[in-house]
A and B are shown apart, each in its own frame.
Chain A
Amino acid sequence: MSETFDAIVIGAGPSGNACAYVMAKAGLNVLQIERGEYSGSKNVQGAILYADALERIIPDFREDAPLERHIVEQRMWILDDKAHVGGHYRSDAFNEEKPNRYTIIRAQFDKWFNRQVREAGALVVCETTVTELIKDAKGKVIGVRTDRDEGEVYADVVVMADGVNALVANRSGLKKEVTPESVALAVKEMHFLPQDVIESRFNIGEEEGVVIEVAGSVTVGMVGTAFLYTNKESIAVGIGCLVSDFTEAQVRPAFLLEKFKNHPSIKPLLAGSEVKEYAAHLIPEGGLNAVPQLFGDGWMIVGDAAQFVNAVHREGSNMAMTSGRLAAETVIEAKKAGKPMIASVLSAYKKALEDSFVIKDLHKYRRLPKVLHNNKHFFTDYPRLLSQAAETMLRVDGEDKRSKEKKITKSFRSTRRIGGLIGDMFNLARAFR
Chain B
Amino acid sequence: MTDDEIIALLKKALAEVAPGRTADFDKITLEATIDDLDLDSISTMEMVGYLEEQVDALFPDEELAKVKKLADLAALMRGSRVNVA
A-B interaction: no
Q: Which residues of A contact B (CB under 8 A)?
A: none
Q: Which residues of B contact A (CB under 8 A)?
A: none
